[in-house]
């Protein structure tokens, strides 16, 4: 651990690695309607390819974290990127929705390595507010993906159909693997055992620790709200409100500007105000924006602004929470940062799989299911902060 600023090159690399799971959704989302049409399947069947992707992301958390604690961050990351490359190449040539769902499962398993190990590297380098600032800076880099990827996905789908999206994912994996060769190993010299019993005991010790559980509860609420937007916004705006795929990509980018703004503010303010105050601001914004978006949806406002503006503010709030809560959750576990990050990702992405499935089944042509999920997440964040973290010293 050190107090020096991380280099811009490494910050960008870590930010892109952390964005890999988002790339697998944001680049893919504009292709969903084309996939449904290409395979002649309903919305729920196309949505299943998102569900299996989230299942893969969740399962990957239990694989990459303990492995990186034992064998080091760099070699395990290279294996993960090789799997992303292979699954993306296969995905471009599948001929059934079932096969595509299976490929997406493998792709999610592989892409989980980037976000998980990227955050573990942050804990290797920093703790407390220093870690929160680096995570916030990475979030700014991360947020470029949700802005650029939907537009790129729409352009790729228009130009060559949905297989072009998989070709782009393969190219990204190859470029990241090349960039990673210049990164030094950061894992502590004392390595954890990969025996299943030892891994289970490590997980049990972490999740039973209140220093982990309290901030993790806030992380989970933020993840649920973000994943509701990610998994359902394409169908809500394109099929429900009738916007074009290109217009959707621009609206998605507008919402992600909220996340960039929140991450930028967090990186600038965390050393001055501290983690606890920023968590309070983030929880309050999530609550207000989630409640407002839910109210507008149930009152029947069908304009795209009634969806985009509340979610823009909502993601601003989540960006105030995520880097600070992750830093607080990881700081007590320097020797098992990979395993602690595994728990954060596994439960979060597992919830994402359930949310994606539920929203696909509940889709009614309006924003109500998606907005209500975000509203409940906002309530959860606000209540969690008050009960577990408010006034905690």
Q: Reply yes or no on whether the pLDDT at 392 is more than 60.
A: no
**What tokens were used for 16?**
């892109």
Q: Which CATH superfamily is domain 8-185+194-389 in?
A: MFS general substrate transporter like domains (1.20.1250.20)
Q: Reply yes or no on whether the pLDDT at 120 is more than 80.
A: yes
> Whole-angstrom Cα distance, residue 190 to residue 100?
40
| Contact indicator for 75, 177 with CB cutoff of 8 Å | no
pLDDT of residue 289: 96
Q: Please compute the mean of the pLDDT values over residues 373-377 and round it to a whole number.
A: 94
pLDDT tens digit sequence for 50-66: 889 988 988 888 888 88
At residue 78, the pLDDT reads 94
- pLDDT tens-digit readout, 219-276: 989 989 988 898 788 888 988 888 887 788 788 888 988 988 998 898 888 888 888 8
Average pLDDT of the segment spanning 297-313:
92
- Closest alpha carbon to 91 in 53, 51, 42: 53
281: nearest Cα among 309, 341, 323: 323
pLDDT at 1 over 60: no
Nearest to 83 by CA among 113, 43, 125, 46: 113
- Whether 2 shows a pLDDT value over 60: the answer reads no
pLDDT bracket for residue 110 (50, 70, 90) = very high
Q: For residue 195, what pLDDT is reported?
A: 66
pLDDT tens per residue, range 329-369: 887 877 777 777 778 877 777 777 788 778 878 888 888 99
Confidence (pLDDT) at 393? 42
138-197 residue pLDDT tens: 888 877 887 788 889 988 998 988 999 999 999 999 999 999 888 888 777 666 656 677
CA dihedral 117, 259, 105, 84 (to 10 degrees): -50
Region 107-118: mean pLDDT is 91
In this prediction, residues 77-93 reach a mean pLDDT of 94
How far out from the chain centre does Cα 124 lie? 21
Cα gap 312→150, rounded to integer Å: 16
Closest C-alpha among 103, 335, 346, 372 to residue 228:
372
The token pair at 20 is: 């890999």
**Residue 286 predicted with pLDDT over 90:** yes
Question: Averaged over 105-115, what is the pLDDT?
Answer: 93
Across residues 294-304, what is the average pLDDT?
91
The confidence score (pLDDT) of residue 5 equals 63
C-alpha 101/C-alpha 105 separation (Å) is: 6
DSSP code, position 2: -
Please check the confidence at residue 312 and state whether its pLDDT lies above 90.
yes
Query: Is the pLDDT assigned to residue 119 strictly greater than 80?
Result: yes
pLDDT of residue 44: 74
**Domain coordinates in residue numbering, the chain:** 8-185+194-389
Better-scored residue on pLDDT, 205 or 283: 283
The token pair that represents 177 in the structure block: 């693997």
Q: What pLDDT, on the 0 to 100 scale, is given for residue 356?
A: 75
Structure-model confidence comparison of residues 194 and 18, the more confident one? 18
How many whole angstroms from its chain centre is CA 272?
A: 27
């Amino acid at each position: 651990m050190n107090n020096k600023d991380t280099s811009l090159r490494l910050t960008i690399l870590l930010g892109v690695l952390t964005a890999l799971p988002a790339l697998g959704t944001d680049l893919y989302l504009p292709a969903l309607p084309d996939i449904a049409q290409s395979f002649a399947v309903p919305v729920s069947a196309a949505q299943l390819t998102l569900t299996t992707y989230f299942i893969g992301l969740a399962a990957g958390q239990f694989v990459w974290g303990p492995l990186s604690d034992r064998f080091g961050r760099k070699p395990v990351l290279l294996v993960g990127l090789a799997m992303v490359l292979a699954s993306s190449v296969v995905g471009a040539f599948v001929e059934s929705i079932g096969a595509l769902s299976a490929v997406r499962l493998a792709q999610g398993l592989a892409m989980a390595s980037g976000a998980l190990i990227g955050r573990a590297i942050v804990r290797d380098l920093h703790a407390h507010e220093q870690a929160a600032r680096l995570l916030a800076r990475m979030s700014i880099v991360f947020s470029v993906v949700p802005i650029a990827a939907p537009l790129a996905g729409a352009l790729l789908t228009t130009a060559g159909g949905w297989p072009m999206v998989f070709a782009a994912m393969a190219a990204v994996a190859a470029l990241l693997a090349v960039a990673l060769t210049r990164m030094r190993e950061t894992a502590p010299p004392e390595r954890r055992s990969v025996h299943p019993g030892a891994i289970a005991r490590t997980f049990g010790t972490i999740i039973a620790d209140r220093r982990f559980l309290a901030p993790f509860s806030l992380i989970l609420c933020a993840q649920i709200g973000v994943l509701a937007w990610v998994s359902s916004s394409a169908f809500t705006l394109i099929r429900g409100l009738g916007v074009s795929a290109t217009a959707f990509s621009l609206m998605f980018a507008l919402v992600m500007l909220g996340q960039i703004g929140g991450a930028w503010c967090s990186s600038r303010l965390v050393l001055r105000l501290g983690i606890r105050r920023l968590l309070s601001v983030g929880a309050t914004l999530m609550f207000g924006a989630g409640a407002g978006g839910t109210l507008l949806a149930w009152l029947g406002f069908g304009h795209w602004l009634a969806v985009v503006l509340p979610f823009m503010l909502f993601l601003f709030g989540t960006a105030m929470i995520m880097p600070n809560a992750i830093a607080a959750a990881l700081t007590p576990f320097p020797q098992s940062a990979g395993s602690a990050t595994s728990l954060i990702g596994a439960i979060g992405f597992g919830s994402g799989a359930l949310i994606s499935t539920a929203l696909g089944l509940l889709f009614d042509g309006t924003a109500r299911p998606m907005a209500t999920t975000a509203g409940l997440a906002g309530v959860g964040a606000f209540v969690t902060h008050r009960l577990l973290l408010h006034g905690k010293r």
